[in-house]
Amino acid sequence: MAEKQEEPSNTQNGEPDNAEEGEEKKKKKLKREDLPPFEIVTGERLPAIFFKFQFRNVEYSSGRNKTFLCYVVETQGKESVTSRGYLEDEHAAAHAEMAFFNTILPKCESSLRYNVTWYVSSSPCVTCADRITETLKKNKNLRLTIMVGRLFMWEEAEMQAALKKMKSAGCKLRIMKPQDFEYVWQNFVEQEEGEEAKAFVPWEDIQENFQYYEEKLAEIL
């Protein structure tokens, strides 16, 4: 497993790295409680700098306190329709997994079948895992596969129990392989206009970290 990562600077997260900006950030942080409970950013493609930082499958995820959720929804009825996009937590009170079921797929029509795939920067928290379990139990026509870059708080017994419940409800939980990161890069990350699409460049230890998390997930499930 890779050595402990140094805490990333703001520059790595696409933000200026200076004291003044840091003070502004602190002030903004204090105002978070004034925000509505769900402040979610949605779109078709996320900035490359966010992908490179937030989706990186390191063991020590300092500074990676947002959830980025890329989704593909295949709706099968008389005709098949596919939609895709991404959700991003805007602040600590919002959960992208919850927002998906509240805004992207608030209702499953009983006459249709839904095959949903998520590519998420990290696995869901206990509350979101419970919501996923309830939704799958309630909607037998919904199939959900979740591909995650990292496991969130996987050492906690409560978290392990929540992941097991998700599996029992029919959720397929997988760790993202290098090929999955490449798929997200090609399909969900902004490419510079007027330029040829840049190839995905795997980071150091991407394969080793995938194997580490895959082993941990197998032990839990």
- With contact defined as beta carbons under 8 Å apart, do 74 and 15 qualify? no
Residue 197 neighbours by CB under 8 Å, 6+ apart: 186, 191
Residue of 97, 109, 204, 208 marked catalytic:
97
Question: 110-134 burial string, b = 16+ CB within 10 Å, else e?
Answer: eeebbbbbbbbbbbbbbebbebbbe
Residue found under tokens 């249709």:
112
How many other β-carbons are positioned within 10 Å of the β-carbon of residue 64?
Answer: 20
66-97 burial by CB neighbour count: b if 16+ within 10 A, else e? bbbbbbbbebeeeeeeeeebbbbbbbeebbbb
Residue closest to 55 by CA, chosen among 186, 215, 179, 176? 176
Residue 39 annotated to the active site: no
Collapsing DSSP to helix, strand or coil, 167 comes out as helix
Residue 177: closest CA among 166, 185, 188, 169: 185
Residue given tokens 């502004």 in the structure block: 24
Q: In which residue are the tokens 């920067």 written?
A: 121
Catalytic residues: 97
